[in-house]
């Protein structure tokens, strides 16, 4: 008899990013003139595919090169959560994270890579468990600098 209430609370939690904006976590910045890459990797997330209303989940990796300010590391994870906790597609989410960092931090550049397993591919349809989808978004100085991109990928290796 309590199932409808539990399901309603679950969906409120799963989609809480619909009512949030990245400006919340990304507005808390600290002055710094570094120019050195900041990388936060292996940020675990869970999201819901807007096509099949089935989960997809994985890890996000974010790098940026600050111009004159940095943000607390937990704020990068909070930004991922905001975009993941929406009806979403992975490709859009990857770009939204990169665009938010460019808008609110004004860095030299941003690179975001998201690796995810989609239940619509593993539980139904083609039924290929373990398959991963990788999406990448690069902005600013990361867009055309192959050496910078290579450095990002090297830092992701275990």
Q: Which residues are catalytic?
A: 49-52, 90, 118, 120
Q: Is 137 helix (H, G, I), strand (E, B) or coil?
A: strand
Question: Which positions ≥6 away from 110 have C-beta within 8 Å?
Answer: 62, 63, 64, 98, 101, 102, 137, 138, 139, 140, 142
DSSP per position, 35-83: -S-EEEEEEEEEEEETTTS-EEEEEEEEEEE-SSEEE-HHHHHHHHHHH
Answer for the pair 57, 73: CB distance below 8 angstroms, yes or no: no
């Amino acid at each position: 008899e309590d199932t409808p209430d539990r399901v309603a609370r679950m969906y409120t939690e799963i989609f809480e990013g619909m009512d949030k904006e990245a400006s919340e976590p990304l507005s808390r910045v600290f002055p710094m003139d570094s120019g050195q890459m900041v990388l936060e990797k292996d940020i675990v997330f869970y999201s819901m595919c807007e096509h099949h209303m089935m989960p997809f989940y994985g890890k996000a990796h974010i790098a940026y090169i600050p111009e004159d300010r940095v943000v607390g590391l937990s704020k990068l994870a909070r930004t991922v959560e905001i975009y993941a906790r929406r009806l979403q597609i992975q490709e859009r989410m990857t770009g939204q994270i990169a665009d938010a960092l460019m808008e609110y931090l004004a860095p030299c550049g941003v690179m975001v890579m998201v690796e995810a397993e989609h239940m619509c591919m593993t539980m139904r349809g083609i039924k290929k468990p373990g398959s991963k989808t990788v999406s990448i978004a690069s902005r600013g100085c990361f867009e055309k600098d192959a050496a910078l991109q290579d450095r990002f990928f090297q830092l992701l290796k275990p």
